[in-house]
Structure 1
Amino acid sequence: MDEKDREILRVLESDSRVGAEDLGTMLSLSPSEVQARIGTLEKAGVLRKYTAIIDWKKAGEDGVVALVELKVSPEREFGYDRIADRIARFPEVKSLRLVTGTYDFQVIVTGRTMQEIAEFVSGQIASLENIKETVTHIVMKTYKEHGCELQRSEGLERLPYSF
């Protein structure tokens, strides 16, 4: 992978709708060369998915998002990988990361209600072998998602602070 490939990835990460012609113009490449590079990146598994960022609240579907922290006992010979594979298969799990700190995994989970999230975490996640502890944080409001601002307070200024 060269710098042109990385630049294609940066542009697509910012806006996956940019076409080969526009990418070619930006990077001094022909549209066919851009398409060939993108095809190679897709086949190599570097470029994994094209997606849209949706403000579900504005779309009339106000679900619940939770950040779940998991403390686990790693498996001998497999470490965290097999545990992560099991957790990642649940459709409620939108993101799963191995992290440093007090907890081992950070999981982003979605559901229709807080009760649905609670039942999923207690019934499906916490009951897995090797899960020692869970902490669930319910997202109250999302201001920015994947680099896209969803909520911006227009004209809101910080009030002066004085004694």
Structure 2
Amino acid sequence: MEEILDLLRQNARLSVEDIAAMTKKSAAEVKAIIKKLEDDGIILKYAAIINPEKDVESKDKVRAEIQIQVTPEREHGFDAIADRIYRFPQVKSVYLMSGGYDLKVIIEGDSLQEVAFFVSGKLSTLEGVRSTKTCFILKTYKENDIVYVEDDRDNREGAMA
């Protein structure tokens, strides 16, 4: 199963037949394994990874990381407030963190003002939120093992005269 997962992580467009050939399993076995991975919630979704620097629609978006300190709820801990936060359409990711803050939230908006309004009008006003700290993402170099910058360096060795 792990071998098939690794292949799909690298290229989710591989056909069942290609995976079968690479793993020396039958196509039926591979199909059954993939179905089980999907049914068990291990594979949640297949998606294309888009370079935000080259995509016209994504290029103009403003992304920010918000560090949030919260008061955990009795019997629900951090889960209840995280649930309220990740339901906002602007929120792309939510992480429970160790260290100086409790939740890290990645959001996306059409402008700095939109992001600022979301933080001040929506996140900061949620019951249980004690403080927020916003850091705007200026450029993405690498995310989820994908390098977004092109290597334009000339790697030829210099010649001495």
Q: Which amino acid aligns with 2:3?
A: E
| Superposition TM-score, scaled by structure 1 size | 0.89
Out of 142, 148, 151, the position equivalent to 1:144 is 142
Alignment of 1:78-89 (within 5 A): 78-89=76-87
SS at match of 1:95: strand
Q: Deviations over 1:64-92 (max 9, x none)?
A: 11111110000011101111111111111
CA separation of 1:79 and 1:156: change in aligned 2, threshold 3 A: farther
| Superposition TM-score, scaled by structure 2 size | 0.90
Q: Which residue of 1 aligns with 2:26?
A: 30
SS at match of 1:91: coil
Q: Which residue of 2 aligns with 1:68?
A: 66
Instruction: Tell me the percent identity.
Output: 43
Cα deviation, residue 32, structure 1 = 1.8
Q: Deviations over 1:46-80 (max 9, x none)?
A: 11111111123312122111111110000011101
How large is the RMSD of aligned CA atoms in angstroms?
1.4
Q: Is residue 2:112 matched to residue 1:114? A: yes
Q: Which residue of 2 aligns with 1:49?
A: 45
C-alpha contact (below 8 Å) 1:53/1:145 kept by paired residues: no
Structure 2 CA distance, aligned partners of 1:115 and 1:16? 37
- Unmatched runs of 5 consecutive residues or more in structure 2: 156-161
Task: Could you list the structure 1 runs, at least 4 aligned residues long, displaced by more than 6 angstroms after superposition.
Answer: none
